[in-house]
Amino acid sequence: MATKRSQSTRRKPRTDAQRNRARILEVAKEAFTRSGADASLDDIAKQAGVGAGTLYRHFPTRDALIEAVYRTEVEKLAAAEPKFAEAMPPIEALRAWMLLFVDYIAAKQIIAPALNAVVGGSSRLYESSRSQIQAAIDALVQRAIRNGDIRSDLDPFDLLRALIGVSHVASGPDWQQSARRLVDILITGSRQSNRSNLSTPRRQSPRAIRSVK
């Protein structure tokens, strides 16, 4: 019994630490969105309900916190792929992930000024995220193809590029609504038709993925 209590006591700080870290990241994202890269770290700690020392133990520098906010958004997107694939039919899983990708683009645009202030610039962070994003949509598209839901010559990156394009040419705050409508258009246009697909699958050049910014 004493051993079990001892193990529980050792596990609790780790659980609390994870909870504190998640809360700091949540508050930091809001703060960087509102005030940019110069948002007060002391205020972030206070709003997260932790001491400044706790914040600095998790994130020793401002750059470390900004990076962690962005990486967390990417990780959420990547982690959603297996969850959606397990819980939904292939075509619905792909649609749900694409809608989440729209939210990711929105969050990324909001914290972009803060990311640009990170040592080494935002390009370094974006480069490390591309493989995770590409792997997620590749898996979802291939699953839908195997299930006969969508055409076999579909290039997964074309779906991402269409959504990214909407965000880049947006002229107003309603671009997210347009992007969400576009998701359904893309899904409908990607569905398998009765006629044979004469074209062969086309692989995207590795260089093209660099436009995921």
pLDDT of residue 168: 76
Q: What is the pTM of this model?
A: 0.73
Residues 72-100 as b or e (16 or more Cβ within 10 Å = b) = bbbeebbebbeebbeeeebbebbbbbbbb
Residue 120 zone, left/alpha/beta (φ > 0; ψ -120 to 50; rest): left
pLDDT of residue 203: 47
pLDDT of residue 171: 53
pLDDT of residue 32: 87
Residue 150 zone, left/alpha/beta (φ > 0; ψ -120 to 50; rest): beta
What parts of the chain have a pLDDT lower than 50? 6, 8-10, 194-211, 213
pLDDT of residue 197: 40
pLDDT of residue 170: 55
pLDDT of residue 91: 96
Chain CA centroid to CA 95, Å? 15
- Tokens in use for 103? 């939210």
pLDDT of residue 50: 95
d(CA 102, CA 97): 9
d(CA 183, CA 109): 19
Count of CB atoms within 10 A of residue 192's CB?
16
